[in-house]
Amino acid sequence: MSFEPKMRLTAGLKQSLVITPQLKHAIKILQLSRADLEQLVTEEMEQNPTLEELSVGQEDFEAERDAATPDDRMGEVVDPTLHEAEAPAKDEATEVAGDQNLGDINWEEYLSDYAANTSHGSLSAGSGGDFDEDKRPSLENTLSRSSSLADHLTWQLRMGDFTSDEREVGDVFIGNVDENGRLQISLEDAAFEAGVDNETALGILERMQAFEPPGVLARSLEECLLIQLDQKDLEEPLRSHARAIVRDHLSLVEGKRFDKLAKQLQIRKEEVVDAVKVIASLEPKPGRDFIDEEVRYVTPDVYVYKMDGEFVVTLNDDGLPKLRVSNSYRRLLSDGEGASEAKNYIREKLSSAQWLIRSIHQRQGTLYKVTNSIVRFQSAFFDEGVKALRPLVLKDVAQDIEMHESTVSRATANKYVHTPQGTFELKYFFTSSIRSSSGEGVSAESVKEKIKKIIESEDSRRPYSDQHIAETLAADSIEIARRTVAKYRELMGILPSSKRRQVS
């Protein structure tokens, strides 16, 4: 007896989560930083002709109209295009007259005069009443950039007493200098690349090592420090002691093993301390001043102020364009005339514009709710500072505002808040809990602050060990292991006690 499998089709209903492209876009907008959001809005306005930015006069008009609207729904995220007023049409006669006036201008004569005015020198400092907006130099001609380390070394090479062949060798060395001023090519490879022998290359390198900044073009840390010592005006035996320490005993200096140094060099401990002080004044990275680091400016997304004893949350809307959907395109869509392809294009762009505006409003509303919840949980922090920061997790805020944890995580990503205690990233307020001996939870950030305060109060000649810091915290009802103290100390960039010790 055998059974043959049969195939059949059945119909059924089931629920499944589908993330639409619009929803993905809204999620992306929610987790964007302020700078990225401004860039996104700018790009959308360039690509979508149905998006318009409200001018100051239009904002006032819309505000008055909305205030007079009886059916405003407070607290809801509504479609900002539902109640938009029609833009006042311009007088056609005025537009025609304006066009005629533009036609009366002799554009060829104007452009030739403009070129003549801008090509003959720049404005003098005392031009006074002769100042003309059109005569100012262009922005490109007023910009300048800082000199790089390679530019500075090349200038010294050109100004120095070097032959053309020697400059070619010098260019090879300069082309292989890293941002710290250290030479990243061996002498043999540089000589081979320049087509000279090793002795000639070494002679040129030694002459170039006298360039500014002191210690540049060194092949190792020891050579960098020795070059600087040779350029310093030091008396003997201080110079000899410092050179001996740099040449053979830098590891002992790092470990503050001054007693062992004195024994190996057969000199007094005081002489070792004097030599180490000289070494500490040297620059291990001569190219540091030429590193053009980009300054990162943080613009807060939210402000928290204290007014009449209560904290008030205010969103920072400065710099974000006030968007609306163009009325002219909506009228084109409602007209019976026009090609279907053009209408489909306009309909698509209108839908995209409405969804962008709605997503931005939703982002701002979510950010406001999340910040309000954080202020309620961390109210003591805004009054007393880091020491009063309490443990907080995403789940606490999510339950408070009845949203999902992932939404709270996205809303706090790359967002900053300005508070009476300074400007912080919103994620800063979410910290893990450390159980105290009293049973209450203590924020990990507040523990880090306590460790920092303990180290700041120590005697630099006898710094506290991690075990001593752990015992001090235990006396303050915070029981953590020594290895936890070491982890927090390293996260704050604080050296261990053996490297914090100072002789005098």
Give Cα 159 to chain centroid, integer Å: 39
Q: Residue 51: helix, strand or coil by DSSP?
A: strand
Domain boundary among 383, 398, 429: 429
Per-residue pLDDT of 136-182, as tens digits, reads 445 444 444 567 888 889 999 988 888 988 999 999 999 999 888 89
Count how many domains the chain has: 3
Asked if residue 504 has pLDDT above 90, the reply is no
pLDDT by residue (tens digit) across 296-342? Answer: 678 889 999 988 888 999 998 877 778 888 888 777 777 666 567 87
**Which of the pair, 121 or 331, is modelled with greater confidence?**
331
pLDDT number for residue 57: 53
CATH number at residue 489: 1.10.10.60
Would 45 be classed as within a structural domain?
no
* φ, ψ dihedrals at 361, nearest 5°: -60, -40
Q: Which of 40, 31, 76 is nearest to 406 (CA)?
A: 31
User: Last residue of some domain: 412, 429, 446?
Assistant: 429
* pLDDT at position 376: 92
The domain boundary residue, chosen from 374, 403, 429: 429
Closest CA to 183 of 223, 156, 154, 210: 223
CA 31, 35, 38, 39 dihedral sign is: negative
Domain carrying residue 196: 149-290
Confidence check: pLDDT of 201 > 70: yes
Report pLDDT for 416. Answer: 92
- Does residue 272 lie within any of the structural domains? yes
Distance in angstroms (rounded) separating the CA atoms of residues 241 and 264: 11
Same-domain check for residues 156 and 280:
yes
* Structural domain contains residue 13: no
Average pLDDT, the chain: 77
Same domain, 248 and 374: no
